[in-house]
A = this chain, B = another copy of it.
Amino acid sequence: MRQSHLFTKTRKEAPADEVAKNAQLLIRAGYVHKVMAGVYAYTPLGLRVLENIKQIVREEMNAVGGQELIMTSLQPKDVWEETGRWSDETVDVWFKTKLQDDTELGLAWSHEEAIVSMMAQYVHSYKDLPISVYQFQTKLRNELRAKSGIMRGREFVMKDMYSLHATKEDMDEYYDKVVEAYKRIYERLGVGADTFVTFASGGAFTKFSHEFQTLCDAGEDVLYIDKDKTVAVNEEVLDDAIAEIGISKDELSPTKTAEVGNIFKFGTEKGEQMNVTFKDADGMDKPIYLASYGVGITRVMGVLVEKFGDDKGLVWPEAVAAYKVHLVGLNLEDAEIKDWADGVYTNLTKAGVEVLYDDRIEARAGEKFSDSDLLGVPYRVVVSKKGKENGQFEVVTRATGEVRQLTEEELFTDFS
C-alpha cells in the first residue's frame, strides 16, 4: 500500500476526552476513529490488524473442530426469558429496541441462548453430538462507563465458541482441548509468556470459570500469581480458590492484568432451563451440556498496544501487524531515486511481502521517521539516495531499535 493513497493521517494529539493509551495511540496513528465513548470504527490499517488477529483465532478454532457461522445481533425476548437473562436487573448491559409494532428486541451482548435455541432444531440424538461452533460477532454492551479505549467497548468484536455435548466427560475433555488451543493463540499473538489461565468466578454449574489474563498495567483486573507462575487467581475468587487449591495467600502476589479470554462450563443449566434435550443410547431424554469460550478480538488488539507501545508510538508483533515492512522513501523529489524506490516496492510486494510504502514526496525525513515509529510496522527499510549509491538498505527493527545494513539480495532473502 502506498502511504499517499491512505486517507488516514497521523496526528500529534489524541482527542482530549480520550484517556486510554491504546485508543490515544491508535487514533494518532490512524488505526481507529472514535465515534463516541466505547465505540470505534476501524480504518483500513486497523481492520488489517483485526483480520490478522481473527485469522490466528480462526485457525486454532478450526484445529479443534470448530465450525464458523454467524448468528444475529437482533434477539427475541422470549428466548432470553427462558433463562432469566432478559431482565435488566440480571443483565445490566442490554441495549434494547423495538419493532414498529412495539415488540421488544434485544441487541446481542452474548449468544448462549441464541445458540441453544437454534441447536434445539438440529440435536435430537446423542449421535448428533458433540457440536462445536464459533463466530466473530459484533457485540453490543451498554456499559455504564467506557474509558478503556478498545479494551472495553460498547461495540466490539468477539470470537465466541460454543460446544454442546452428551456427557460431562465429553464436555470436560473438549474444554481441556480448548484451553490448549487458547494457549497457542496467545503464544502466536506474542503474549504467551505473560498470559495466565486463571481461576475466576463460576456460575450455577461450576465453582470456577477460567479466564485468560495477560499482565498489563492498563488492565482492569488484579490477579494473584505464585512466584513460579503456575497458579493464578482472580482476586474476586481469592478466598474460595485458596481454600480449594490449598495454597497460602502469602505465596501469591497481586498483579494488574487484562482479561483476554474467558471460558465457561454451563453444564446442563441452559439445556434444563430451555428444555433442550436429546435421546441417549437408552432412548432417555437428557439435557444437553454446554460450554462457551470467548476471546475479545478488539480487546486483544488494545492489550497488544498497551503492552508493546512505547513513547514513540505503536509496536506491533509481527503476527498481527498491518504490514510487515515499512518502506520509507527519502529523496523522492529526485526522479531517478523515485523510480528506483518504486521498483523496490513493486518487487518486495511481488515477492509476497506486505509493504507499506511511504512514497510521499513533500514530507521531510524527520516527519517520515516519526510517522514510521508511530505506525509501529515491525521493520523499517529506508530507501534513499545514499543507500542507492552504497547498494545498501538500512533496516530498523521497531521493537528493539536494532539497525542493520543489508544488500538488496539480503533484503529479499530476509523478508520474502
Contact = CB atoms under 8 A, between A and B. Distances in A.
Interface string A104-117: 01010000001000
Interface residues of A, number: 52
A227 interface: no
B74 A33 contact: no
A274 interface: no
A71 B41 contact: yes
B5 A76 contact: no
A17 B64 CA distance: 37
A300 to B, nearest CB: 16
B72 A39 contact: yes
Copies in the complex: 2
B44 A133 contact: yes
A155 B73 contact: yes
B100 A155 contact: no
Contacts of A5: 65, 67
A52 to B, nearest CB: 14
Interface of A: 5-9, 30, 33, 35-36, 39-44, 46-47, 50, 65, 67-76, 95-100, 105, 107, 114, 118-119, 121-123, 128, 131, 133, 138, 140, 142, 144, 154-155
Given A73-B140, A95-B98, 12 more contacts: A7-B67, A7-B123, A35-B72, A36-B76, A39-B72, A39-B74, A41-B69, A42-B70, A46-B69, A47-B69, A72-B155, A97-B97
29 contacts: A5-B67, A6-B67, A7-B67, A7-B123, A7-B128, A30-B122, A35-B71, A35-B72, A35-B118, A39-B74, A41-B71, A41-B72, A42-B70, A47-B69, A73-B73, A73-B138, A73-B140, A73-B155, A74-B140, A74-B154, A74-B155, A95-B98, A96-B97, A97-B97, A99-B142, A99-B154, A100-B142, A100-B144, A107-B107
